[in-house]
Structures are given as C-alpha cells and as structure tokens.
C-alpha cells in the first residue's frame, strides 16, 4: 500500500473512507486536516484501536515558538526527534534520546513529498496515570495529510517527565 519513494513514510495513514464524524476532509485518498485540532482528532481515532490517548500535546519550539518541524523517526526502535523549521533547534520526543544511538532514524516524508509538519504527541495512560504508550502524529503543512510516524511502549515508572517532552 505504501509504495511511494521516501525515507520514512507514515506507519499509518487511515484510509479516507473511514468514518470519524468530524470535520476532517475524507474525500481524498488520505485524511487531511486544516490545523492541529484535526491532528488531535486523528490521533484519538488512531489510538482508540489499542491504547486510547489521554493527553495529546502539540510540539512547539522552545527557542522560537514555531509549530512547524522536520521529523526524524525510527519506528522499529521507537523514537523521534524534531527539528524546528524556523530556527533549526532540535528536541527529542519523549525518551527518544535514550535509544537514539541504537536507532536508524530517517526523515519523515508525507505522501506528497512534504517534509514539514505540525507535530502532536499522544500519551496513552494506565489507570494510575503513568504513560504506557507514546504515539507521534504529524500533519503535513503542504497538503494537510494526517499520519502517525512512530509509536512505542513505555514500560517504566515514573513517567511524568515524558508529558512535557514533545
Ligand atoms: Zn525554533
Ligand atoms: Zn503532504
């Protein structure tokens, strides 16, 4: 299904015909969103199948406030890093720095070829409030396609520090 040339295509692009009841444009091949709120809705829908998301937090550059990033991911290892489209500042998502040296990351690319995204990080929580799963979603700023580019399990405690590492 994912046969376009790119480095790291989305691991999940929901087919456009799936129903979600929202305002997301489902007329094309993939879900498209106008803004971050649509990415939130997409992540809720995506995570509802396994680990329903609790908080979904938007990535914002701590240096310049930009919300547009290049995304470098390794979905096998389970890690992601973002690079600000405004000032080039980089930040790891969640605990990605701990496995980064063992990973083989590639730059995320939208089906349209776009490599700039709004990024949202969904945290699925256990009953005790600790994080059990991180899902990294992105909305292509060129065409609006919504996708999940990496997700991984968290199997330790405490996890509060992860919730601000987006
Ligand atoms: Zn920046
Ligand atoms: Zn795109």
For ligand 2, the distance from its centroid to the CA atom of residue 116, given in whole angstroms, is: 8
Cα dihedral angle (147, 164, 153, 10), rounded to 10 degrees? 10
pLDDT digits (tens, 9 = 90+) for 109-137: 999 999 999 999 999 999 999 999 999 99
For ligand 2, the distance from its centroid to the CA atom of residue 11, given in whole angstroms, is: 15
pLDDT digits (tens, 9 = 90+) for 57-107: 999 999 999 999 999 999 999 999 999 999 999 999 999 999 999 999 999
pLDDT digits (tens, 9 = 90+) for 5-17: 334 566 667 665 5
For ligand 2, the distance from its centroid to the CA atom of residue 139, given in whole angstroms, is: 8
For ligand 2, the distance from its centroid to the CA atom of residue 161, given in whole angstroms, is: 31
Q: What is the pLDDT of residue 12?
A: 66
Which ligand is nearest to the Cα of residue 110, counting in written order?
2
For ligand 1, the distance from its centroid to the CA atom of residue 33, given in whole angstroms, is: 23
For ligand 1, the distance from its centroid to the CA atom of residue 48, given in whole angstroms, is: 32
| CB environment 71-98: b (16+ within 10 A), e (fewer) | bbbbbebbbbbbbbbeeeeebbbbbbee
Work out the average pLDDT over 14-30: 62
Q: Would you tell me how many other CB atoms lie within 10 Å of the CB of residue 27?
A: 9
Which ligand is nearest to the Cα of residue 138, counting in written order?
2
Residue 35 has pLDDT above 90, yes or no: yes
Q: What is the pLDDT of residue 14?
A: 64
| pTM > 0.85 | yes
Q: What is the pLDDT of residue 23?
A: 60
């Amino acid at each position: 299904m994912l046969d376009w040339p790119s480095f790291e295509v989305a691991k999940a692009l929901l087919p456009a015909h799936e129903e979600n009841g929202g305002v997301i444009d489902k007329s094309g091949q993939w879900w498209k969103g106008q803004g971050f709120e649509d990415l939130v809705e997409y992540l809720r829908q995506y995570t509802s199948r396994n680990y329903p998301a609790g908080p979904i937090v938007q990535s914002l550059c701590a240096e310049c406030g930009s919300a547009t990033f290049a995304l470098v991911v390794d979905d096998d290892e389970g890690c992601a890093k973002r690079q600000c489209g405004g000032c080039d500042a980089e930040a790891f998502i969640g605990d990605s720095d701990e496995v980064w040296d063992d990973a083989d990351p590639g730059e995320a690319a939208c089906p349209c070829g776009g490599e700039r995204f709004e990024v949202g990080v969904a945290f699925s929580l256990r009953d005790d409030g600790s994080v059990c799963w991180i899902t990294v979603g992105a909305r292509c700023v060129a065409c609006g396609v919504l996708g999940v580019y990496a997700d991984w399990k968290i199997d330790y405690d405490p996890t509060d520090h992860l919730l601000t590492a987006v």
